[in-house]
Structure 1
Amino acid sequence: MSLWKCPSCSNMLLLNNKVWACDNGHSYDVAKEGYVNLLLAQHKNSKQPGDNKQMVNGRRAFLEQGFYQPLADAISTIFTQHLETLKDQTQLSFFDAGCGEGYYMDQVSQSCQQADVHIEFSGLDISKFAVQKAAKKYPKNHFSVASTYQLPLANHSQDAVLQIFAPSSELEILRVLKSNGIWITVNPAANHLFEFKQALYDKPAEHKMENVTPQGFVQIEQLNLSFVMQLTEPQQRENLLMMTPYYWSATQEKKQKLVANLEQFTTDFNIRVFQPE
Protein backbone atom coordinates (compact mmCIF):
# COMPACT_ATOMS: atom_id res chain seq x y z
CA MET A 1 0.00 0.00 0.00
CA SER A 2 1.31 3.45 -0.97
CA LEU A 3 -0.41 6.55 0.39
CA TRP A 4 2.08 8.86 2.08
CA LYS A 5 5.18 10.61 0.79
CA CYS A 6 8.40 10.59 2.80
CA PRO A 7 8.91 13.96 4.54
CA SER A 8 12.69 13.51 4.39
CA CYS A 9 13.26 12.76 0.69
CA SER A 10 9.81 12.97 -0.98
CA ASN A 11 9.88 9.36 -2.21
CA MET A 12 6.66 7.42 -1.74
CA LEU A 13 6.32 5.37 1.41
CA LEU A 14 5.22 1.72 1.38
CA LEU A 15 3.49 0.06 4.32
CA ASN A 16 4.97 -3.21 5.53
CA ASN A 17 4.35 -4.76 8.97
CA LYS A 18 3.10 -1.49 10.44
CA VAL A 19 6.08 0.49 9.20
CA TRP A 20 5.94 3.09 6.42
CA ALA A 21 9.30 3.10 4.61
CA CYS A 22 10.80 4.54 1.41
CA ASP A 23 13.53 3.29 -0.91
CA ASN A 24 16.07 5.56 0.77
CA GLY A 25 15.69 3.75 4.08
CA HIS A 26 13.64 6.36 5.94
CA SER A 27 10.98 4.67 8.05
CA TYR A 28 8.05 5.72 10.23
CA ASP A 29 6.27 3.38 12.62
CA VAL A 30 2.50 3.14 12.78
CA ALA A 31 1.33 4.14 16.27
CA LYS A 32 -0.92 1.85 18.27
CA GLU A 33 -3.92 4.06 17.38
CA GLY A 34 -3.22 3.49 13.67
CA TYR A 35 -1.73 6.81 12.52
CA VAL A 36 1.81 7.68 11.39
CA ASN A 37 3.83 10.69 12.54
CA LEU A 38 5.39 12.40 9.51
CA LEU A 39 6.15 15.72 11.22
CA LEU A 40 9.92 16.10 11.32
CA ALA A 41 11.46 17.79 14.33
CA GLN A 42 12.77 20.71 12.26
CA HIS A 43 9.23 21.45 11.05
CA LYS A 44 7.81 21.85 14.56
CA ASN A 45 7.26 25.34 15.92
CA SER A 46 6.89 24.02 19.48
CA LYS A 47 7.26 20.78 21.42
CA GLN A 48 3.57 19.91 21.00
CA PRO A 49 2.23 22.03 18.10
CA GLY A 50 -1.47 22.42 17.42
CA ASP A 51 -4.44 21.97 19.72
CA ASN A 52 -3.82 20.46 23.14
CA LYS A 53 -5.69 17.49 24.60
CA GLN A 54 -8.29 19.65 26.38
CA MET A 55 -9.14 21.56 23.20
CA VAL A 56 -9.37 18.38 21.13
CA ASN A 57 -11.68 16.76 23.68
CA GLY A 58 -13.82 19.88 23.81
CA ARG A 59 -14.17 20.02 20.02
CA ARG A 60 -15.10 16.36 19.75
CA ALA A 61 -17.73 16.73 22.48
CA PHE A 62 -19.18 19.80 20.78
CA LEU A 63 -19.25 18.41 17.24
CA GLU A 64 -20.66 15.04 18.25
CA GLN A 65 -23.65 16.79 19.80
CA GLY A 66 -24.57 17.86 16.27
CA PHE A 67 -24.34 21.62 16.67
CA TYR A 68 -22.41 22.00 13.38
CA GLN A 69 -24.37 19.32 11.51
CA PRO A 70 -25.61 21.81 8.86
CA LEU A 71 -21.99 22.56 7.97
CA ALA A 72 -21.12 18.86 7.74
CA ASP A 73 -24.16 18.32 5.52
CA ALA A 74 -23.19 21.18 3.21
CA ILE A 75 -19.66 19.83 2.77
CA SER A 76 -20.97 16.31 2.17
CA THR A 77 -23.39 17.59 -0.48
CA ILE A 78 -20.61 19.41 -2.34
CA PHE A 79 -18.49 16.26 -2.46
CA THR A 80 -21.31 13.87 -3.42
CA GLN A 81 -22.26 16.24 -6.25
CA HIS A 82 -18.64 16.17 -7.38
CA LEU A 83 -18.81 12.38 -7.43
CA GLU A 84 -21.46 12.63 -10.14
CA THR A 85 -18.83 14.10 -12.46
CA LEU A 86 -16.44 11.21 -11.79
CA LYS A 87 -18.68 8.24 -12.57
CA ASP A 88 -16.16 6.64 -14.91
CA GLN A 89 -13.61 6.23 -12.08
CA THR A 90 -13.55 3.27 -9.71
CA GLN A 91 -11.14 4.60 -7.06
CA LEU A 92 -11.16 8.11 -5.64
CA SER A 93 -9.37 9.98 -2.88
CA PHE A 94 -10.55 12.58 -0.35
CA PHE A 95 -8.09 14.45 1.85
CA ASP A 96 -8.74 16.61 4.90
CA ALA A 97 -5.96 19.18 5.42
CA GLY A 98 -6.27 20.01 9.11
CA CYS A 99 -8.61 17.16 10.00
CA GLY A 100 -8.67 17.66 13.76
CA GLU A 101 -10.30 14.69 15.45
CA GLY A 102 -11.81 13.46 12.17
CA TYR A 103 -15.46 14.51 12.51
CA TYR A 104 -16.00 16.13 9.11
CA MET A 105 -14.16 13.44 7.18
CA ASP A 106 -16.35 10.82 8.84
CA GLN A 107 -19.48 12.79 7.97
CA VAL A 108 -18.45 12.94 4.30
CA SER A 109 -17.55 9.24 4.39
CA GLN A 110 -21.00 8.35 5.72
CA SER A 111 -22.68 10.39 2.99
CA CYS A 112 -20.80 8.35 0.35
CA GLN A 113 -21.70 4.89 1.64
CA GLN A 114 -24.16 4.27 -1.19
CA ALA A 115 -21.76 5.40 -3.90
CA ASP A 116 -20.65 2.63 -6.24
CA VAL A 117 -16.98 3.58 -5.99
CA HIS A 118 -14.11 3.05 -3.57
CA ILE A 119 -13.05 6.27 -1.87
CA GLU A 120 -9.88 6.46 0.19
CA PHE A 121 -10.28 8.97 3.02
CA SER A 122 -7.15 10.41 4.60
CA GLY A 123 -6.20 13.46 6.60
CA LEU A 124 -3.55 15.16 8.64
CA ASP A 125 -3.26 17.55 11.50
CA ILE A 126 -0.29 19.12 13.22
CA SER A 127 -1.81 18.21 16.60
CA LYS A 128 -0.74 14.75 17.71
CA PHE A 129 -3.60 14.66 20.22
CA ALA A 130 -6.17 15.30 17.46
CA VAL A 131 -4.73 12.66 15.13
CA GLN A 132 -4.57 10.07 17.91
CA LYS A 133 -8.26 10.62 18.61
CA ALA A 134 -9.19 10.55 14.91
CA ALA A 135 -7.28 7.36 14.11
CA LYS A 136 -8.65 5.51 17.12
CA LYS A 137 -12.29 6.28 16.34
CA TYR A 138 -12.16 6.02 12.53
CA PRO A 139 -9.84 3.07 11.77
CA LYS A 140 -11.05 2.75 8.16
CA ASN A 141 -9.56 6.15 7.33
CA HIS A 142 -5.87 7.10 7.21
CA PHE A 143 -4.27 9.75 9.38
CA SER A 144 -0.88 11.35 9.83
CA VAL A 145 0.67 14.01 12.01
CA ALA A 146 2.06 16.52 9.53
CA SER A 147 1.95 20.15 8.45
CA THR A 148 -0.59 21.57 5.99
CA TYR A 149 2.33 23.53 4.52
CA GLN A 150 4.15 20.31 3.56
CA LEU A 151 1.56 17.76 2.53
CA PRO A 152 3.02 14.23 2.53
CA LEU A 153 1.11 13.32 -0.64
CA ALA A 154 2.02 12.54 -4.23
CA ASN A 155 1.50 15.10 -6.97
CA HIS A 156 -2.01 15.15 -8.48
CA SER A 157 -3.23 12.34 -6.23
CA GLN A 158 -6.39 13.79 -4.66
CA ASP A 159 -9.90 14.16 -6.06
CA ALA A 160 -10.90 16.51 -3.24
CA VAL A 161 -9.16 18.44 -0.50
CA LEU A 162 -11.13 19.81 2.44
CA GLN A 163 -9.83 22.69 4.53
CA ILE A 164 -11.85 24.03 7.48
CA PHE A 165 -10.49 27.00 9.43
CA ALA A 166 -6.94 25.78 8.81
CA PRO A 167 -3.98 27.61 7.31
CA SER A 168 -2.20 26.01 4.38
CA SER A 169 0.02 26.49 1.35
CA GLU A 170 -2.05 27.15 -1.75
CA LEU A 171 0.81 25.83 -3.85
CA GLU A 172 0.74 22.55 -1.91
CA ILE A 173 -3.01 22.19 -2.42
CA LEU A 174 -2.56 22.84 -6.14
CA ARG A 175 0.27 20.29 -6.30
CA VAL A 176 -1.69 17.40 -4.76
CA LEU A 177 -5.03 17.99 -6.52
CA LYS A 178 -5.91 16.18 -9.73
CA SER A 179 -6.67 18.43 -12.68
CA ASN A 180 -10.41 17.94 -12.16
CA GLY A 181 -10.21 17.82 -8.36
CA ILE A 182 -11.91 20.26 -6.01
CA TRP A 183 -10.67 22.24 -3.03
CA ILE A 184 -13.40 22.94 -0.47
CA THR A 185 -12.55 25.75 1.96
CA VAL A 186 -14.55 26.86 5.00
CA ASN A 187 -13.76 30.14 6.73
CA PRO A 188 -15.63 32.51 9.05
CA ALA A 189 -17.99 34.93 7.34
CA ALA A 190 -18.83 38.43 8.59
CA ASN A 191 -20.95 37.56 11.63
CA HIS A 192 -19.51 34.22 12.71
CA LEU A 193 -19.94 33.88 16.49
CA PHE A 194 -20.47 37.63 16.77
CA GLU A 195 -21.85 37.13 20.27
CA PHE A 196 -18.34 36.21 21.41
CA LYS A 197 -17.00 39.51 20.10
CA GLN A 198 -19.81 41.46 21.77
CA ALA A 199 -19.01 39.82 25.09
CA LEU A 200 -15.24 40.18 24.83
CA TYR A 201 -14.59 43.50 23.07
CA ASP A 202 -15.67 47.08 23.67
CA LYS A 203 -15.98 47.73 19.93
CA PRO A 204 -16.80 44.42 18.19
CA ALA A 205 -16.29 44.44 14.43
CA GLU A 206 -17.50 42.13 11.69
CA HIS A 207 -15.02 39.57 10.45
CA LYS A 208 -13.32 40.69 7.24
CA MET A 209 -13.69 38.03 4.59
CA GLU A 210 -11.04 37.47 1.96
CA ASN A 211 -12.64 36.59 -1.35
CA VAL A 212 -9.53 36.59 -3.50
CA THR A 213 -9.23 33.50 -5.69
CA PRO A 214 -5.86 31.82 -5.01
CA GLN A 215 -3.41 31.80 -7.91
CA GLY A 216 -3.72 28.72 -10.10
CA PHE A 217 -7.39 28.14 -9.22
CA VAL A 218 -10.83 29.12 -10.45
CA GLN A 219 -13.76 29.44 -8.08
CA ILE A 220 -16.65 27.19 -9.13
CA GLU A 221 -18.98 27.65 -6.16
CA GLN A 222 -19.50 29.93 -3.18
CA LEU A 223 -22.18 29.80 -0.51
CA ASN A 224 -22.89 31.38 2.83
CA LEU A 225 -24.22 29.17 5.59
CA SER A 226 -25.64 30.75 8.73
CA PHE A 227 -27.74 29.36 11.56
CA VAL A 228 -28.43 30.06 15.24
CA MET A 229 -27.52 27.63 18.01
CA GLN A 230 -28.95 27.42 21.51
CA LEU A 231 -26.30 26.17 23.93
CA THR A 232 -28.09 25.66 27.22
CA GLU A 233 -25.26 24.04 29.18
CA PRO A 234 -22.13 25.91 30.32
CA GLN A 235 -19.90 23.01 29.18
CA GLN A 236 -21.26 23.30 25.64
CA ARG A 237 -20.40 26.99 25.62
CA GLU A 238 -16.91 26.34 26.96
CA ASN A 239 -16.35 23.63 24.33
CA LEU A 240 -17.31 26.08 21.59
CA LEU A 241 -15.07 28.78 23.06
CA MET A 242 -12.12 26.36 23.02
CA MET A 243 -12.63 25.95 19.27
CA THR A 244 -11.99 29.66 18.67
CA PRO A 245 -9.03 32.07 18.92
CA TYR A 246 -10.96 33.93 21.63
CA TYR A 247 -10.08 31.16 24.06
CA TRP A 248 -6.48 32.41 24.00
CA SER A 249 -7.03 36.15 23.60
CA ALA A 250 -9.69 36.79 26.27
CA THR A 251 -9.03 37.27 29.96
CA GLN A 252 -10.07 34.52 32.35
CA GLU A 253 -12.67 36.82 33.90
CA LYS A 254 -14.33 37.57 30.57
CA LYS A 255 -14.28 33.92 29.54
CA GLN A 256 -15.96 32.87 32.75
CA LYS A 257 -18.62 35.55 32.34
CA LEU A 258 -19.26 34.50 28.75
CA VAL A 259 -19.61 30.81 29.59
CA ALA A 260 -21.94 31.62 32.47
CA ASN A 261 -24.31 33.97 30.64
CA LEU A 262 -24.41 33.48 26.86
CA GLU A 263 -26.77 30.86 25.44
CA GLN A 264 -27.47 31.91 21.82
CA PHE A 265 -24.80 31.92 19.14
CA THR A 266 -24.90 32.83 15.45
CA THR A 267 -22.77 30.85 13.02
CA ASP A 268 -21.73 32.35 9.70
CA PHE A 269 -19.62 30.23 7.36
CA ASN A 270 -18.12 31.21 4.00
CA ILE A 271 -17.82 28.03 1.91
CA ARG A 272 -15.90 28.24 -1.36
CA VAL A 273 -15.03 25.56 -3.90
CA PHE A 274 -12.09 25.83 -6.28
CA GLN A 275 -10.64 23.81 -9.14
CA PRO A 276 -7.20 24.04 -10.76
CA GLU A 277 -7.17 26.33 -13.79
Structure 2
Amino acid sequence: MSTSSFEALACPLDGDPLERSDGAWRCAAGHSFDIARQGYVHLLPVQNKRSRDPGDSKAMVAARRRFLEAGHYRPIAEAVSRAVLAEAPACGTLSCLDAGCGEGFYLRELVEVAEGQNDAPALALLGVDISKWAVLAAAKLHQGATWVVGTNAHLPVQAGSLDRVLCLFGFPVYPEFARVLKPGGELLLVEAGPDHLRELREIIYPSVKPPREGDAAAPDGFTRHSCETLRYAIELEGAAPIADLLAMTPHLHRAGAEGRERAAALTSLSLTVDVRLARFARAS
Protein backbone atom coordinates (compact mmCIF):
# COMPACT_ATOMS: atom_id res chain seq x y z
CA MET A 1 0.00 0.00 0.00
CA SER A 2 1.26 3.46 -0.88
CA THR A 3 -0.13 6.97 -0.42
CA SER A 4 0.16 9.96 -2.68
CA SER A 5 -1.20 13.46 -3.00
CA PHE A 6 -4.39 14.07 -4.97
CA GLU A 7 -3.75 16.03 -8.16
CA ALA A 8 -7.16 16.67 -9.79
CA LEU A 9 -7.71 20.12 -8.30
CA ALA A 10 -9.76 22.82 -10.01
CA CYS A 11 -9.34 26.58 -10.05
CA PRO A 12 -11.74 28.15 -7.52
CA LEU A 13 -12.21 31.15 -9.82
CA ASP A 14 -13.11 29.53 -13.14
CA GLY A 15 -13.28 25.77 -12.50
CA ASP A 16 -10.49 24.93 -14.94
CA PRO A 17 -8.02 22.15 -14.02
CA LEU A 18 -5.03 23.21 -11.96
CA GLU A 19 -1.51 22.05 -12.71
CA ARG A 20 1.23 21.95 -10.08
CA SER A 21 4.50 23.58 -11.09
CA ASP A 22 7.31 25.55 -9.43
CA GLY A 23 5.73 25.77 -6.01
CA ALA A 24 2.25 26.80 -7.17
CA TRP A 25 -0.99 25.51 -8.67
CA ARG A 26 -1.95 27.25 -11.93
CA CYS A 27 -4.83 27.07 -14.41
CA ALA A 28 -4.77 27.77 -18.16
CA ALA A 29 -6.26 31.23 -17.61
CA GLY A 30 -3.22 32.24 -15.57
CA HIS A 31 -4.66 32.13 -12.07
CA SER A 32 -1.90 31.05 -9.69
CA PHE A 33 -2.04 29.82 -6.10
CA ASP A 34 1.18 29.49 -4.15
CA ILE A 35 1.92 26.38 -2.11
CA ALA A 36 2.73 27.41 1.45
CA ARG A 37 6.01 26.45 3.05
CA GLN A 38 4.15 23.85 5.12
CA GLY A 39 2.78 22.21 1.97
CA TYR A 40 -0.84 23.33 1.75
CA VAL A 41 -2.56 25.62 -0.77
CA HIS A 42 -5.20 28.28 -0.16
CA LEU A 43 -8.09 27.92 -2.65
CA LEU A 44 -10.77 29.91 -0.84
CA PRO A 45 -11.51 33.14 -2.74
CA VAL A 46 -12.29 36.13 -0.58
CA GLN A 47 -15.82 36.32 -2.02
CA ASN A 48 -16.54 32.85 -0.58
CA LYS A 49 -15.53 33.84 2.95
CA ARG A 50 -18.20 34.73 5.48
CA SER A 51 -15.65 36.24 7.85
CA ARG A 52 -12.01 37.32 7.84
CA ASP A 53 -10.88 34.07 9.51
CA PRO A 54 -13.60 31.45 8.89
CA GLY A 55 -13.82 28.03 10.47
CA ASP A 56 -12.21 26.73 13.63
CA SER A 57 -9.77 28.95 15.46
CA LYS A 58 -6.19 27.97 16.26
CA ALA A 59 -7.23 27.13 19.84
CA MET A 60 -10.16 24.97 18.69
CA VAL A 61 -7.91 23.04 16.30
CA ALA A 62 -5.40 22.40 19.09
CA ALA A 63 -8.17 21.19 21.39
CA ARG A 64 -9.52 18.80 18.74
CA ARG A 65 -6.07 17.42 18.07
CA ARG A 66 -5.45 16.69 21.77
CA PHE A 67 -8.84 15.03 22.19
CA LEU A 68 -8.63 12.90 19.05
CA GLU A 69 -5.03 11.83 19.60
CA ALA A 70 -6.03 10.61 23.06
CA GLY A 71 -7.99 7.91 21.19
CA HIS A 72 -11.55 8.73 22.29
CA TYR A 73 -12.89 8.64 18.72
CA ARG A 74 -10.53 6.00 17.33
CA PRO A 75 -13.34 3.40 17.02
CA ILE A 76 -15.15 5.85 14.73
CA ALA A 77 -12.01 6.40 12.65
CA GLU A 78 -11.45 2.66 12.34
CA ALA A 79 -15.05 2.04 11.24
CA VAL A 80 -14.80 4.83 8.66
CA SER A 81 -11.50 3.44 7.37
CA ARG A 82 -12.95 -0.05 6.99
CA ALA A 83 -15.91 1.39 5.08
CA VAL A 84 -13.60 3.38 2.78
CA LEU A 85 -11.59 0.28 1.94
CA ALA A 86 -14.53 -2.12 1.68
CA GLU A 87 -15.03 -3.45 -1.84
CA ALA A 88 -12.12 -1.36 -3.12
CA PRO A 89 -10.04 -3.15 -5.76
CA ALA A 90 -6.51 -4.01 -4.61
CA CYS A 91 -5.04 -2.77 -7.88
CA GLY A 92 -5.08 0.85 -8.95
CA THR A 93 -5.46 3.92 -6.76
CA LEU A 94 -8.37 4.89 -4.54
CA SER A 95 -8.86 8.67 -4.37
CA CYS A 96 -10.42 9.96 -1.15
CA LEU A 97 -11.49 13.43 0.03
CA ASP A 98 -12.16 14.36 3.64
CA ALA A 99 -14.51 17.33 3.24
CA GLY A 100 -14.04 19.27 6.46
CA CYS A 101 -10.83 17.46 7.32
CA GLY A 102 -9.86 19.43 10.43
CA GLU A 103 -6.29 18.61 11.39
CA GLY A 104 -6.36 15.42 9.33
CA PHE A 105 -6.97 12.82 12.04
CA TYR A 106 -9.31 10.62 9.99
CA LEU A 107 -7.11 10.53 6.89
CA ARG A 108 -4.08 9.65 9.02
CA GLU A 109 -6.08 6.84 10.61
CA LEU A 110 -7.14 5.66 7.14
CA VAL A 111 -3.49 5.36 6.14
CA GLU A 112 -2.73 3.37 9.30
CA VAL A 113 -5.60 0.93 8.72
CA ALA A 114 -4.69 0.50 5.05
CA GLU A 115 -1.08 -0.23 5.93
CA GLY A 116 -2.29 -3.13 8.07
CA GLN A 117 -4.10 -4.77 5.14
CA ASN A 118 -2.20 -6.87 2.64
CA ASP A 119 -4.64 -6.17 -0.19
CA ALA A 120 -5.31 -2.47 0.40
CA PRO A 121 -5.19 -0.23 -2.68
CA ALA A 122 -2.89 2.73 -3.10
CA LEU A 123 -4.43 5.91 -1.73
CA ALA A 124 -4.54 9.41 -3.21
CA LEU A 125 -5.63 11.69 -0.37
CA LEU A 126 -7.16 15.16 -0.26
CA GLY A 127 -8.20 17.14 2.78
CA VAL A 128 -10.27 20.32 2.49
CA ASP A 129 -11.24 22.61 5.35
CA ILE A 130 -12.37 26.21 5.56
CA SER A 131 -10.10 26.82 8.56
CA LYS A 132 -6.55 27.75 7.59
CA TRP A 133 -5.44 26.75 11.11
CA ALA A 134 -6.83 23.25 10.64
CA VAL A 135 -5.23 22.79 7.23
CA LEU A 136 -1.91 24.16 8.51
CA ALA A 137 -1.92 21.60 11.34
CA ALA A 138 -2.87 18.78 8.94
CA ALA A 139 -0.06 19.65 6.53
CA LYS A 140 2.48 19.66 9.34
CA LEU A 141 1.34 16.27 10.61
CA HIS A 142 1.14 14.39 7.28
CA GLN A 143 2.96 15.30 4.11
CA GLY A 144 1.60 12.43 2.03
CA ALA A 145 -1.68 14.14 1.11
CA THR A 146 -2.89 17.29 -0.62
CA TRP A 147 -4.19 19.83 1.91
CA VAL A 148 -6.40 22.68 0.78
CA VAL A 149 -8.06 25.65 2.43
CA GLY A 150 -11.46 25.64 0.72
CA THR A 151 -15.19 25.25 1.20
CA ASN A 152 -17.58 22.33 0.72
CA ALA A 153 -19.98 24.74 -0.99
CA HIS A 154 -17.53 25.17 -3.90
CA LEU A 155 -15.03 22.33 -3.79
CA PRO A 156 -11.89 23.13 -5.80
CA VAL A 157 -11.96 19.64 -7.31
CA GLN A 158 -12.43 18.43 -10.87
CA ALA A 159 -15.75 16.73 -11.61
CA GLY A 160 -15.89 12.93 -11.43
CA SER A 161 -12.40 12.56 -9.97
CA LEU A 162 -12.97 10.93 -6.56
CA ASP A 163 -13.79 7.40 -5.41
CA ARG A 164 -14.72 8.36 -1.83
CA VAL A 165 -15.89 11.51 -0.06
CA LEU A 166 -15.94 11.66 3.73
CA CYS A 167 -18.07 14.14 5.66
CA LEU A 168 -17.56 13.45 9.35
CA PHE A 169 -19.52 15.62 11.79
CA GLY A 170 -19.38 18.23 9.05
CA PHE A 171 -21.55 20.27 6.72
CA PRO A 172 -22.62 18.13 3.75
CA VAL A 173 -23.23 19.80 0.40
CA TYR A 174 -24.72 16.93 -1.56
CA PRO A 175 -24.74 18.48 -5.06
CA GLU A 176 -21.02 19.22 -4.75
CA PHE A 177 -20.28 15.76 -3.40
CA ALA A 178 -22.19 14.18 -6.29
CA ARG A 179 -20.33 16.40 -8.77
CA VAL A 180 -16.82 15.43 -7.65
CA LEU A 181 -17.50 11.70 -7.19
CA LYS A 182 -17.07 9.19 -9.97
CA PRO A 183 -20.20 7.23 -10.95
CA GLY A 184 -20.51 4.52 -8.33
CA GLY A 185 -18.22 6.39 -5.96
CA GLU A 186 -19.25 6.56 -2.32
CA LEU A 187 -20.12 9.25 0.20
CA LEU A 188 -19.47 8.29 3.82
CA LEU A 189 -21.37 10.39 6.32
CA VAL A 190 -20.91 10.39 10.10
CA GLU A 191 -23.52 12.20 12.17
CA ALA A 192 -24.34 12.36 15.86
CA GLY A 193 -27.00 9.94 17.09
CA PRO A 194 -29.72 10.86 19.62
CA ASP A 195 -27.60 9.95 22.66
CA HIS A 196 -24.27 11.32 21.46
CA LEU A 197 -22.60 13.15 24.37
CA ARG A 198 -25.95 13.26 26.13
CA GLU A 199 -24.35 13.46 29.57
CA LEU A 200 -22.46 16.63 28.60
CA ARG A 201 -25.54 18.16 26.98
CA GLU A 202 -27.58 17.51 30.13
CA ILE A 203 -25.02 19.50 32.11
CA ILE A 204 -24.60 22.52 29.86
CA TYR A 205 -28.21 23.03 28.71
CA PRO A 206 -31.32 23.73 30.79
CA SER A 207 -33.08 20.95 28.88
CA VAL A 208 -32.11 18.49 26.16
CA LYS A 209 -34.10 18.61 22.95
CA PRO A 210 -35.80 15.37 21.87
CA PRO A 211 -33.95 13.56 19.08
CA ARG A 212 -34.84 14.33 15.51
CA GLU A 213 -36.51 11.61 13.49
CA GLY A 214 -34.04 9.87 11.24
CA ASP A 215 -34.17 10.67 7.53
CA ALA A 216 -34.38 7.39 5.66
CA ALA A 217 -34.27 9.01 2.20
CA ALA A 218 -30.99 9.15 0.32
CA PRO A 219 -29.85 12.61 -0.82
CA ASP A 220 -30.54 13.58 -4.43
CA GLY A 221 -27.95 12.03 -6.71
CA PHE A 222 -27.26 9.12 -4.35
CA THR A 223 -28.60 5.71 -3.42
CA ARG A 224 -28.34 4.35 0.13
CA HIS A 225 -25.73 1.63 0.52
CA SER A 226 -25.76 0.90 4.26
CA CYS A 227 -26.02 2.47 7.69
CA GLU A 228 -24.53 1.34 10.99
CA THR A 229 -24.61 2.62 14.55
CA LEU A 230 -21.49 2.94 16.68
CA ARG A 231 -22.20 3.22 20.38
CA TYR A 232 -19.72 2.97 23.25
CA ALA A 233 -18.73 4.69 26.50
CA ILE A 234 -15.72 6.88 27.24
CA GLU A 235 -14.34 8.23 30.50
CA LEU A 236 -12.72 11.65 30.70
CA GLU A 237 -10.51 12.27 33.70
CA GLY A 238 -9.45 15.80 34.55
CA ALA A 239 -10.75 19.19 33.54
CA ALA A 240 -8.48 19.51 30.48
CA PRO A 241 -9.97 16.77 28.24
CA ILE A 242 -13.50 17.89 29.15
CA ALA A 243 -12.60 21.44 28.13
CA ASP A 244 -11.04 20.12 24.89
CA LEU A 245 -14.20 18.17 24.03
CA LEU A 246 -16.41 21.18 24.61
CA ALA A 247 -14.07 23.39 22.57
CA MET A 248 -14.21 21.08 19.53
CA THR A 249 -18.02 20.89 19.38
CA PRO A 250 -20.72 23.40 18.42
CA HIS A 251 -21.88 23.24 22.04
CA LEU A 252 -19.11 25.68 23.01
CA HIS A 253 -21.01 28.52 21.32
CA ARG A 254 -24.54 27.21 21.80
CA ALA A 255 -24.34 26.81 25.57
CA GLY A 256 -24.94 29.78 27.82
CA ALA A 257 -22.42 31.15 30.29
CA GLU A 258 -23.92 29.17 33.18
CA GLY A 259 -23.70 25.92 31.22
CA ARG A 260 -20.08 26.53 30.31
CA GLU A 261 -19.30 27.29 33.95
CA ARG A 262 -20.87 23.99 35.04
CA ALA A 263 -18.74 22.14 32.48
CA ALA A 264 -15.59 23.97 33.60
CA ALA A 265 -16.18 22.81 37.18
CA LEU A 266 -16.13 19.12 36.22
CA THR A 267 -13.10 16.96 37.04
CA SER A 268 -14.40 13.73 35.48
CA LEU A 269 -17.17 12.77 33.08
CA SER A 270 -18.63 9.52 31.76
CA LEU A 271 -19.98 9.92 28.24
CA THR A 272 -21.91 8.00 25.62
CA VAL A 273 -20.60 8.09 22.06
CA ASP A 274 -23.49 7.43 19.67
CA VAL A 275 -22.98 8.04 15.96
CA ARG A 276 -24.43 6.91 12.64
CA LEU A 277 -22.14 5.92 9.79
CA ALA A 278 -24.05 5.97 6.51
CA ARG A 279 -22.72 4.97 3.08
CA PHE A 280 -24.28 6.37 -0.10
CA ALA A 281 -23.35 5.47 -3.68
CA ARG A 282 -23.36 8.16 -6.34
CA ALA A 283 -26.04 7.39 -8.87
CA SER A 284 -24.71 6.47 -12.29
- Asked if Structure 1 and Structure 2 have the same fold, meaning a TM-score greater than 0.5 normalized by the shorter chain, the answer is yes
Match of 2:19 among 14, 17, 33: 14
Aligned equivalents of 1:155, 1:19: Cα separation in 2: 21
CA contact (8 A) 2:18 2:25 kept: yes
What TM-score, normalized to structure 1? 0.95
Is the alpha carbon distance of 1:57 and 1:144 closer, same or farther for their aligned partners in structure 2, counting shifts above 3 Å? same
Q: How many residues align?
A: 274
Give the counterpart of 2:186 among 176, 182, 194.
182
| Residue range with higher mean Cα deviation, 188-197 or 122-131 | 188-197
3-state SS of 2:86 partner: helix
Q: Report the Cα distance in structure 2 between the residues aligned to 1:10 and 1:253, rounded to whole angstroms.
A: 47
Residues in 2 aligned to 1:223 and 1:259: alpha-carbon distance in whole angstroms: 33
Q: Give the conservation status (yes or no) of the 8 Å contact 2:178–2:282.
A: yes
Gaps of 5+ in 1: none
Structure 1 residue 260: Cα displacement: 2.4
- Whether contact under 8 Å (1:182, 1:274) holds in the other structure is yes
Give 3-state SS (helix, strand or coil) of 2:219's partner. coil
Q: Please state if 1:191 is matched with 2:195.
A: yes
Cα deviation per residue 1:161-210 (whole Å; 9 max; x = unaligned)?
00011113211100111112110000111111111221122321243254
Mapped pair 1:30 → 2:35: yes
List per-residue Cα deviations over 1:76-119 (Å, max 9, x = no partner): 11112132xx24x4122011000000000110111112445321
Runs of 4+ off more than 3 Å = 114-117
The answer to whether the 8 A contact 1:95-1:121 is kept is yes
SS at match of 2:87: helix
| C-alpha distance 251-202 of structure 1, shift in aligned 2 (>3 A) | closer
Residue in structure 1 matched with residue 252 of structure 2 by the alignment:
247
C-alpha separation in 1, matches of 2:41 and 2:211? 36
Once the two structures are TM-superposed, the CA of residue 251 in structure 1 deviates from its matched residue by 2.7
1:57-72 alignment to 2 at 5 Å? Answer: 57-72=62-77
Task: Report if the CA contact (8 A) 1:192-1:266 is conserved.
Answer: yes
Q: Which residue of 1 aligns with 2:224?
A: 219
Between stretches 192-201 and 177-186, larger displacement belongs to: 192-201
Structure 1 residue 237: Cα displacement? 0.4
**1:13–1:55 CA distance, 2 compared to 1 (3 A):** same
Give SS of 2:177's match: helix
CA separation in 1, counterparts of 2:104 and 2:167?
Answer: 12
Asked whether the 8 Å contact 2:154–2:176 carries over to 1, the reply is yes
**1:132 maps to what in 2?**
136
**Counterpart position of 1:235:** 240
Structure 1 residues 32 and 207 mapped into 2: Cα distance closer, same or farther (>3 Å)? Answer: farther
- Counterpart among 4, 10, 13 of residue 9 in structure 2: 4
Local SS of the residue matching 1:179: strand
In structure 2, the residue matched to 1:81 is 86
Root-mean-square deviation (CA, aligned residues, Å) is 1.4
Tell which deviates more after alignment, 105-114 or 155-164. 105-114
Per-residue CA distance 1:229-269 (angstroms, 9 max, x = gap):
10001110011011211101223332132132251111110
In structure 1, the residue matched to 2:122 is 118
Cα–Cα, structure 1 residues 36 and 63, in superposed 2: closer, same or farther, change >3 Å?
same
CA contact (8 A) 1:190 1:208 kept: yes
Please give the alpha-carbon distance, in whole angstroms, between the structure 1 residues aligned to 2:32 and 2:253: 36
Higher relative contact order (CA 8 A, sep 6+): 2
Report the residue type matching 2:275 in the other structure. Answer: F
Uncovered stretches (5+) of structure 2, i.e. residues with no partner:
1-5
| Residue in structure 1 matched with residue 3 of structure 2 by the alignment | none
Does residue 164 of the first structure (1) align with residue 168 of the second (2)?
A: yes
Aligned-pair CA distance for 1:73: 0.9
- Whether contact under 8 Å (1:91, 1:117) holds in the other structure is yes
Q: Give 1:100's aligned residue.
A: 102
